[in-house]
């Protein structure tokens, strides 16, 4: 079996049906593709639709009676998969005709992660529970849909005729998600190219609504983390482990799939809970980039500086004599994480230990500056000291550098 397409679904019956219709329009005609749909505790008659849908590829249907999170659902699909390549494709996506073909063509060597375009959006159904952002965006597109503004729409009303569905058919109705982190990722791709050369955080492109990766590699690194039950970060969690294991990431923006807009299916605190979980899980200097990324917005670190800091960290990591400074950096990050997201300012023990070691840390940082450079890492360390403990560590370092020059 060449590839398994894994589609988790939760109360997305009408959108899932369009997803499957688009797969029926695929240009790939091989017999070595399977589609695995995981009904993750849906209560909207999803199973009835699946039982009656005729798909051009063999389809396995897995029913989970109670929703245990999307990580658990995807893992359930992985366990049942037989393909060498896993293509992750969420229930609310509409694929382009060459979606499967293009994903498979890029797996011409082992340990490749193919990240398709994941920020293109479309309205296929009207929902009364749209967010204010979605409602505003929808109103700007109503003319394209040729809808009567005076005619009220019912919940889950289809917005067009869907006899034949591909991303190409619907492209004129689509739009880019215009969130800040999407603009950052676009800029990063423009600067570093599709192979993300000299970019040290490619796992930020690991978004599992349009992505493919070697099945064996996913299993080797432990698959998705079933402890991540709430919305968000379960894809980053797997992506960072794949990257650390040696996978090469490709941002393949020519592989298009449209995300169908729908009401948010998460609670306001979901991202916060999962962010804290990620920072606690990866409280290790070899994964120091994870809490750094999670805190980058709160610390006002721009995308270029963030990449440069991680580049510096990778320069220091092979040298065991610098691990204590890396641990200090991580400890200060965790102080800020607890302050921002846990409302926990209890760091007296760490403050006392750090204060006792200040002279040592000053000498060590001066040595690192003189031998390794790593200016962005050092500057962020200065900033963390000031924010975490209100200590002007930069001034202390400069004072001692000046003393060495004088002496």
Least confident range from 185-189, 274-278, 280-284: namely 274-278
**Per residue in 323-345, pLDDT tens?**
999 999 999 999 999 988 876 66
Q: What's the whole-number average pLDDT of the chain?
A: 92
Mean pLDDT in residue range 204-229: 96
pLDDT of amino acid 142: 80
pLDDT of amino acid 140: 86
Beta strands in 145-237 (DSSP E): 157-158, 175-176, 211-214
> Using CA atoms in the order 292, 293, 295, 300, what is the torsion angle rounded to 10 degrees?
100
What is the b/e burial string over 144-181, where b = at least 16 CB atoms within 10 angstroms of the residue's CB? eeebeeeeeeeeeeebbebeebbbbbbeebbbeeeeee
| Cα separation values, 338 from 230, 331, 347, Å | 20, 11, 9
Count CB atoms within 10 A of the CB of residue 283: 16
CA-CA distance, 239 to 139, in Å (whole number)?
36
pLDDT of amino acid 406: 52
Mean pLDDT in residue range 153-178: 88
pLDDT of amino acid 344: 66
CA-CA distance, 137 to 103, in Å (whole number)?
30
**Per residue in 124-157, pLDDT tens?**
999 999 988 898 898 888 888 877 666 777 888 8
Q: How do 85-88 and 3-9 pair as beta strands?
A: parallel
Q: Alpha helix locations (H) across 344-406?
A: 348-356, 358-371, 375-389, 393-406
Which residues face 94 on adjacent strands? 258
Helix (H, G, I), strand (E, B) or coil at 360: helix
Burial class (CB in 10 A: 0-12, 13-18, 19+), 183: middle
pLDDT of amino acid 355: 86
pLDDT of amino acid 143: 80
CA-CA distance, 68 to 106, in Å (whole number)?
33
Contact assessment for residue 117 and residue 182, using Cβ atoms and an 8 Å cutoff: no
| Cα separation values, 121 from 47, 124, 262, 302, 404, Å | 26, 10, 10, 26, 59
**Per residue in 23-78, pLDDT tens?**
999 999 988 999 999 999 999 999 999 999 999 999 999 999 999 999 999 999 99
What DSSP line would sit under 8-19, residue for residue?
EESS-HHHHHHH
Residues 6+ apart with CB under 8 A from 90: 7, 8, 208, 209, 259
Helix (H, G, I), strand (E, B) or coil at 348: helix
Residue 404 banded pLDDT, cuts 50, 70, 90 = low
pLDDT of amino acid 10: 94
- Domains with residue ranges and CATH for the chain: 3-123+156-267 (3.90.550.10), 282-406 (no CATH)
Which residues face 8 on adjacent strands? 38
pLDDT of amino acid 150: 66
pLDDT of amino acid 232: 79
pLDDT of amino acid 21: 96
Question: How would you classify residue 45: left for phi > 0, otherwise alpha for psi between -120 and 50, otherwise beta?
Answer: left
Count CB atoms within 10 A of the CB of residue 344: 11
Write out the two tokens for 211.
């992505």
């Amino acid at each position: 079996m060449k590839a398994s397409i894994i589609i988790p679904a939760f109360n997305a019956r009408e959108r899932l049906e369009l997803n499957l219709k688009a797969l029926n329009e695929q240009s790939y005609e091989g017999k070595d593709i399977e589609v695995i749909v995981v009904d993750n505790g849906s209560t909207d008659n999803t199973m009835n639709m699946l039982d009656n849908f005729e798909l051009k590829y063999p389809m396995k249907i897995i029913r989970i009676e109670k929703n245990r999170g999307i990580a658990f659902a995807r893992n359930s699909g992985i366990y049942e998969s037989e393909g060498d390549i896993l293509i992750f494709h969420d229930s609310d996506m509409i694929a382009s005709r060459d979606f499967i073909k293009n994903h498979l063509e890029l797996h011409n060597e082992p340990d490749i992660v193919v990240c398709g375009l994941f920020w293109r959006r479309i309205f296929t159904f009207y929902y009364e529970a749209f967010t204010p952002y979605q409602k505003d965006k929808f109103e700007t597109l109503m003319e394209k849909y040729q809808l009567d503004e005076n005619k009220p729409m019912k919940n889950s009303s289809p917005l067009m005729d869907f006899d034949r569905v591909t991303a190409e058919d619907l492209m004129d109705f689509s739009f880019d998600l215009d969130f800040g982190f999407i603009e950052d990722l676009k800029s990063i791709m423009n600067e570093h190219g599709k192979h993300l050369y000299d970019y040290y955080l490619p796992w930020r492109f690991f978004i599992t609504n349009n992505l493919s990766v070697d099945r064996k590699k996913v299993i080797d690194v432990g698959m998705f983390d079933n402890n991540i039950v709430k919305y968000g970060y379960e894809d980053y969690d797997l992506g960072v482990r794949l990257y650390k294991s040696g996978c090469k990431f490709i941002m393949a923006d020519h592989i298009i799939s449209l995300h169908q807009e729908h009401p948010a299916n998460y609670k306001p605190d979901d991202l916060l809970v999962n962010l804290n979980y990620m920072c606690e899980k990866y409280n290790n200097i070899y994964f120091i980039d994870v809490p750094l990324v999670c805190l980058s917005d709160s610390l006002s670190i721009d995308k270029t500086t963030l990449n440069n800091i991680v580049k510096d960290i990778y320069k220091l990591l092979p040298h065991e004599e610098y691990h204590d400074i890396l641990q200090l950096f991580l400890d200060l990050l965790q102080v800020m994480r607890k302050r921002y997201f846990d409302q926990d300012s209890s760091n007296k023990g760490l403050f006392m230990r750090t204060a006792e070691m200040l002279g040592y840390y000053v000498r060590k940082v001066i040595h690192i500056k003189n031998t390794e450079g790593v200016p962005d890492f050092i500057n962020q360390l200065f900033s963390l000291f000031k924010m975490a403990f209100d200590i002007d560590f930069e001034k202390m370092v400069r004072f001692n550098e000046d003393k060495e020059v004088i002496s």
